[in-house]
Amino acid sequence: MKNMLVDNFAIDQVEMRQAYCDALIDVARQNPYVLDIEADVQYSMGTKRFKEIFPERSINCGIMEAHAVGFCGGLSAMGYIPFFHAFGVFATRRAFDQVFLALAYQDMNVKIIGGDAGVTATTNGGTHMPFEDMGLMRLVPDMTVIEPADSAMYPYAVHYMANTYGNFYLRSCRRKVMKIYGDNVQFTIGRANTLTQGGDIAIIACGIMVYEALKAREILLKQGIEARVIDMHTVKPLDVECVKTAAMECGAIVTAENHNVKGGLGEAVCAGLAQEYPVPVELVGVNDMFGQVGDQSYLMKVYGLTAENIAEKAIRCLRRKTK
């Protein structure tokens, strides 16, 4: 297996929002139909530079997400490729009917970028902390749902979205995250990345939880357990083949997501497995709770999203496997 990982894990040099803005500028240079649509979070989400370079192609609607999504639908009907950028909660929860009917139902070509995924909303607290955005977007027919793990994956996803007709939801965070991937890694939307070998148990994660999964692997190794770590960056359509292979070869699975376990990656994996190759599964994620203020490490402990939580669930899952 080709090693995709960096040699030494460290905080990324590049903020996620900068990775997004750089990628958006790139695709806008290549494709004159790419537009940046905002709802008054251009400063927070880091796309000011896009506006400086393409003032005519960056449209700030003001604080009106419902209208902004509908507006994107109309632009798409005219052949444009709008990238709509807002906090995850407002891009999805507030504008759900608009995403459903003004975009997906009429086969538009709009890319929704939901920022401040889960606990990365930190001190903005419960009103701004999306634990349900992926679940909502998974329920929209034909919507592709992506959560990149780091700044290497992010530009790839932006280019893919710009070049692929259809509606996408990409959830991300704005600040620096742990760098996972080395240079020149190729990504395929809809195909998970198996990051480490391991046949005792598989840990399937997305977003910031990929790094936690890799740390959990180290904890488990000390106990003689070799975990396979999979980055399921495309939550919908799920790479069921990869999940099935992991189930057949490892016999037990832990999922890890910075999201409510209801409606998110864990349930998607369970649904895929139940139909293909049922094995014991444990779900790491937010257990049907609202967000709150706090720094990220505090919130990860509160909601049980740490590497230690993953390792604990892995051991529990292994016990069920051997029964």
Partner 1 sequence: MSLRAKLEYHAAQIRKLTITAIESAGYGHIGGSMSICDALAVLYCDIMKIDPLYPDKPDRDRLVMSKGHCGPALYATLAYKKYFPESLLTQLNRNGTSLPSHCDRLKTKGIDISTGSLGQGYSLAAGVAYGCRLKGYDNTCYCIVGDGELQEGQNWEAAQFVAHHNLSNLTLIVDNNKRQLDGYVQDICKQFDLAAKLKAFGLEVFEADGHDVLEIREALLAAKSSNKPNAVILDTQKGYGCCFSEIEGFNHYMVVTKEMADKARAEIDRRLQTP
Residue 62 as a binder of partner 1 (CB under 8 A): the answer is yes
Of 19, 34, 70, 256, which one interacts with partner 1 (CB under 8 A)? 70
Of 29 and 319, nearer to partner 1 (C-beta) is: 29
* Cα distance between residue 265 and residue 273, in whole Å: 12
Angle at CA of residue 227, ends 223 and 230, nearest 5°: 155
* Cβ at position 85, least distance to partner 1 in Å: 16
DSSP letter string over 52-93?
HH-GGGEEE--S-HHHHHHHHHHHHHTT-EEEEEEEHIIIII
Residue 73 as a binder of partner 1 (CB under 8 A): the answer is yes
Identify the CA nearest to 111 among candidates 149, 153, 80, 152. Answer: 80
Of 101 and 178, nearer to partner 1 (C-beta) is: 101
Residue 99 as a binder of partner 1 (CB under 8 A): the answer is no
Q: Which of residues 104-123 bind partner 1 (CB under 8 A)?
A: 105-107
Q: Which amino acid is at 188?
A: T
β-bridge pairing 193-194 and 227-231: antiparallel
Cβ-in-10-Å burial (0-12, 13-18, 19+) of 7 comes to exposed
Of 45 and 102, nearer to partner 1 (C-beta) is: 102
Which of these segments, 72-80, 121-129, 194-202, 218-226, binds partner 1 (CB under 8 A)? 72-80
65 carries an active-site annotation: yes
* Cα distance between residue 214 and residue 203, in whole Å: 9
Residue 53 as a binder of partner 1 (CB under 8 A): the answer is no
* Cα distance between residue 46 and residue 16, in whole Å: 9
- Which of 65, 132, 257, 282 is an active site residue? 65
* Cβ at position 110, least distance to partner 1 in Å: 10
Cα 115 to Cα 149, 181, 204, 224: the distances in Å are 13, 21, 22, 38
* Cβ at position 314, least distance to partner 1 in Å: 44
Residue 178 as a binder of partner 1 (CB under 8 A): the answer is no
* Cβ at position 103, least distance to partner 1 in Å: 10
Q: Which residues bind partner 1 (CB under 8 A)?
A: 56, 59, 61-62, 64, 66-80, 97-98, 101-102, 105-107
Point out the residues that are catalytic. Answer: 65
